[in-house]
Amino acid sequence: MDSKIAILTGGAGDLGRGISKALTAAGHTVVILDLDTARAESAATVIKCDVTEPVACKDAVDEVVREYGGVDTLVNLAQKWSKMTLMEVTDDEMRLVFDSGPTATLRMMQLCYPHMKARGGGSVVNFGSSAGTQGGVKGEGAYAAAKEAIRGLTKHAAVEWGPDNIRVNVVCAVATDNPGRWPATSVTRIPMGRLGDPESDVGSLVVYLAGPGSFMTGRTLHIDGGVGTFR
């Protein structure tokens, strides 16, 4: 395909770097927005950006458009994590989780929308979590609420932006390139017997969703080796 321009928020982690490599291999020019520029630079061009700051987000998108001419794909991966029971979560913690998740996701979508529309369409790939779609894990209430808010935004954006040929979907992934971070018991619960690979498994799905042949929008796609069947 002709080179397409993709913005990836929160791309410095192992999942983000894998997605970036897959998009690059498929012909996309990828720009990562993240605070951890050192890790992100190993995968793509990076702009230092705190997605909870409106001005920083606007400046970053403007810079991408000036440098590359537009935006075709937006991947919203940035999200602060909270591991607290519902009785432990404070207002400040809840604000942080929502500011970095659904609020930042909507902000980036709003900033990229006119550029996608001007180029005849595009693709937004948001990231949800089985913590929200399936639940049942103690201490993930605030995180789950934020991820479900992102799914709600996705469904409405798919309806509102469909006429502009902008597709908006959600991916819920179980993947890492560092299996040592995951308890062995987590892997035994996965029917396919392994964790997903950020590049070949999750990245390939994002490439498909970003491609011109995708006729899918408003959907939540679980790429988890079947682990969701147990919840």
The CATH number for 222's domain is 3.40.50.720
The whole model's pTM is what? 0.93
DSSP 197: P
* 117 vs 213 pLDDT, higher one: 117
113 is catalytic: no
Percentage, residues of the chain above pLDDT 90: 73
pLDDT for the residue numbered 185: 60
Chain-centre distance for alpha carbon 203: 11
* 184 vs 122 pLDDT, higher one: 122
d(Cα 202, Cα 219) in Å, to the nearest integer? 15
Q: What is the dihedral of CA 191, 193, 199, 204, to 10 degrees?
A: -30
Per the structure, the count of domains in the chain is 1
| Mean pLDDT, residues 176-190 taken together | 70
167 pLDDT band, cuts 50/70/90, is very high
Token representation of residue 110? 């709003």
Distances 94 to 27, 125, 172 between C-alpha atoms, Å? 38, 23, 21
Residue 171 near residue 16 (C-beta atoms within 8 A)? no
pLDDT at 10 over 90: yes
Token representation of residue 105? 């996701």
| Mean pLDDT, residues 19-31 taken together | 96
- For the ranges 115-119, 142-146, 178-182, 215-219, the lowest mean pLDDT is seen at 178-182
pLDDT at 228 over 60: yes
pLDDT at 230 over 60: no
pLDDT for the residue numbered 1: 44
Q: Can you give the residue range of the structural domain that contains 144? A: 4-230
- On average, the pLDDT of the chain sits at 91
* 210 vs 2 pLDDT, higher one: 210
181 pLDDT band, cuts 50/70/90, is low
Q: Which amino acid is at 142?
A: A
pLDDT at 119 over 90: yes
* 191 vs 101 pLDDT, higher one: 101
* 222 vs 179 pLDDT, higher one: 222
pLDDT tens-digit series, residues 74-84? 999 999 987 88
The active-site residue out of 68, 113, 143, 208 is 143
